[in-house]
């Protein structure tokens, strides 16, 4: 039996585990905290702009389980907000248990509160992962889905200090990269000014702390746009945001609130005393990060060098997914790379040719484009997402953006990849 070990249970790790299990492997996933989904626990926006196309391609390829779960758990669908169309918002407070059930249904062993601290390597091959307790977990092939958020030292060095985000480093221990432990030199993303890392682009307010009227509007419409008094408009923080799809002027002169269960506030941070001067927010209180008045998590400081099959360079049996695989932003982006990494991990054990998604698909073009760009100095200063910025512009220009399910299904069929993730390879 092929044994795949997935490091990290964010959206990319969950997708990788699912894809490997569907391809016939015995799968174990190790997650350092007590909840799956990582930064997806405080996200929620999907199907906006080109993410719709990417999700539908994954569904046509047989990797739709996690998108179906998001859709089943959506609080709002088909919402437009500045710069974004036809978005859905999943409920961040109920998403995690549902995903766990989906994975368990596929027989995946999920080990929570299990932080990988080291690896055992022989030559170019990883033999096992070593967890905090000293236990050694062996496998035939490994997937690094440990993300790029934090740990605290990075938030201190490249941000405004630990903002007490959902990754809860003080409680569960810092993120540890499998790639870095294997002594592969990681890639560091940069901000527009050339400094390293990028700050996460949204925080969450407790909905009970909003005025009754504001809360009701938010729950009815899904989105509320509040204008920011000119003395508080903060154009200067835009280049630092991880989510370049929101680094547009409308987000500096307005506060955009989104109903994801919490009231998601589309800005990296906002001083609480200033926030409370805005009508409806007089009693506002941060839910994530707890110190959203002063900062947010810092990301993109450790990407694995890999090719478009997501195999990590210089190692025989390590694949990567999600933010680890490129400077990419988003749940959808994490899921589509996770699906590919999980499938290729199984192919590796069976000596099969690795799958590389063709550039005729938005998902294939996205992975290849992000990797091409990351080889350039300027490309390292951008983040890539189907939902905005340079890649969404490219999607439109190359006619890869579509909201027509039938057309997307036909496109996938033309590449011969319909249901590829539903095939048992073992």
Ligand X SMILES: Cc1cc2nc3c(=O)[nH]c(=O)nc-3n(C[C@H](O)[C@H](O)[C@H](O)COP(=O)(O)OP(=O)(O)OC[C@H]3O[C@@H](n4cnc5c(N)ncnc54)[C@H](O)[C@@H]3O)c2cc1C
Which residues of this chain interact with ligand X, rule CB under 6 A? 7-13, 30-33, 38-40, 42-46, 115-116, 145-147, 149, 167, 175-176, 200, 202, 297, 322-324, 329-332, 334
Nearest to 54 by CA among 343, 364, 342: 364
Smallest distance from the beta carbon of 14 to ligand X, in angstroms?
A: 8
Distance CA(410)–CA(394), nearest Å, equals 21
Closer CB to ligand X, 234 or 358, in the complex: 234
Nearest to 322 by CA among 347, 302, 352, 345: 302
Closer CB to ligand X, 163 or 423, in the complex: 163
Residue linked to tokens 């003395």: 231
Distance CA(157)–CA(160), nearest Å, equals 8
For 3, half-sphere exposure in the C-beta direction (CA atoms, 13 angstrom radius) is: 10
Under 8 Å between Cβ of 243 and 44? no
Closer CB to ligand X, 146 or 309, in the complex: 146
Coil/strand/helix, residue 2 = coil
Strands of 25-105, DSSP E: 26-30, 45-46, 74-81, 84-90
Smallest distance from the beta carbon of 166 to ligand X, in angstroms?
A: 7
Closer CB to ligand X, 169 or 417, in the complex: 169
Smallest distance from the beta carbon of 416 to ligand X, in angstroms?
A: 28
- Torsion (CA) 380, 115, 333, 236 in degrees, nearest 10: -50
Smallest distance from the beta carbon of 45 to ligand X, in angstroms?
A: 3
Closer CB to ligand X, 32 or 76, in the complex: 32
Smallest distance from the beta carbon of 258 to ligand X, in angstroms?
A: 8
Closer CB to ligand X, 134 or 416, in the complex: 134
Closer CB to ligand X, 206 or 211, in the complex: 206
Q: At what angle do helices 405-414 and 51-60 cross, to 10 degrees?
A: 50
Smallest distance from the beta carbon of 268 to ligand X, in angstroms?
A: 9
Closer CB to ligand X, 177 or 309, in the complex: 177
Distance CA(288)–CA(354), nearest Å, equals 39
Smallest distance from the beta carbon of 195 to ligand X, in angstroms?
A: 19
Distance CA(80)–CA(48), nearest Å, equals 8
Closer CB to ligand X, 19 or 202, in the complex: 202
C-alpha distances out from residue 48 to 135, 144, 156, Å: 42, 27, 32
The per-residue DSSP string of 150-219 comes to --HHHHHHHSSS----TT-HHHH-----HHHHTTPPPB--B-TTS-B-EE---EEE-GGGS-HHHHHHHH
C-alpha distances out from residue 16 to 146, 152, 297, 343, Å: 12, 26, 24, 7
Smallest distance from the beta carbon of 331 to ligand X, in angstroms?
A: 4
Smallest distance from the beta carbon of 257 to ligand X, in angstroms?
A: 13
Residue linked to tokens 């758990």: 73
Q: Which two structure tokens, joined as six digits, stand for 274?
A: 């200033």
């Amino acid at each position: 039996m092929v044994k795949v070990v997935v490091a990290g249970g964010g959206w990319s790790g969950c997708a990788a585990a699912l894809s490997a299990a569907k391809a016939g492997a015995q799968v174990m996933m190790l997650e350092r905290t007590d909840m799956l989904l990582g930064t997806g626990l405080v996200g929620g926006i999907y199907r906006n702009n080109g993410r719709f196309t990417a999700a539908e391609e994954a569904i046509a390829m047989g990797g739709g389980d996690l998108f179906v779960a998001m859709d089943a758990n959506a609080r709002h669908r088909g919402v437009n907000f500045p710069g974004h169309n036809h978005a859905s918002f999943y409920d961040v407070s109920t998403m995690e248990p549902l995903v766990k059930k989906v994975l368990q249904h596929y027989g995946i062993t999920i080990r929570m509160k299990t932080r990988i601290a080291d690896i055992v390597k022989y030559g170019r091959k990883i033999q096992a992962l070593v967890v905090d307790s000293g236990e050694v977990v062996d496998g035939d092939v490994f997937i690094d889905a440990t993300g790029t958020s934090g740990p605290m030292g990075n938030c201190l060095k490249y941000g405004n200090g630990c903002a007490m985000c959902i990754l809860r480093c003080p409680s569960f221990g810092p993120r540890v990269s499998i790639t870095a432990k294997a002594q592969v030199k990681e890639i560091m993303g940069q901000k527009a000014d050339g400094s390293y890392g990028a700050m996460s682009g949204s925080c969450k307010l407790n909905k009970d702390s909003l005025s009754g009227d504001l809360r009701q509007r938010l729950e009815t419409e899904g989105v509320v746009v509040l204008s920011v008094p000119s003395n508080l408009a903060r154009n200067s923080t835009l280049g630092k945001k991880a989510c370049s799809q929101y680094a547009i002027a409308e987000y500096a002169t307005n506060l955009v609130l989104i109903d994801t269960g919490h009231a998601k506030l589309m800005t990296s941070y906002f001083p609480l005393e200033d926030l409370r001067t805005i009508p409806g927010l007089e009693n506002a209180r941060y839910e994530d990060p707890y110190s959203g008045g002063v900062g947010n998590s810092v990301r993109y400081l450790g990407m694995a060098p890999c090719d478009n099959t997501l195999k990590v360079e210089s190692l025989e049996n390590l694949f990567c997914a999600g933010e680890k695989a490129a400077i990419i932003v988003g749940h959808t982006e994490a899921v589509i790379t996770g699906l590919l990494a999980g499938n290729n991990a199984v192919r590796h054990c069976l000596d099969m040719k690795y799958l590389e998604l063709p550039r005729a698909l938005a998902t294939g073009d996205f992975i290849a484009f992000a990797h091409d760009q990351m080889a350039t100095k300027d490309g390292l200063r951008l983040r890539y997402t189907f939902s905005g910025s340079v890649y969404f512009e490219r999607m439109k220009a190359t006619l890869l953006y579509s909201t027509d399910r039938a057309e997307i299904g036909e496109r996938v069929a033309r590449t011969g990849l319909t249901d590829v993730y539903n095939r048992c390879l073992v």
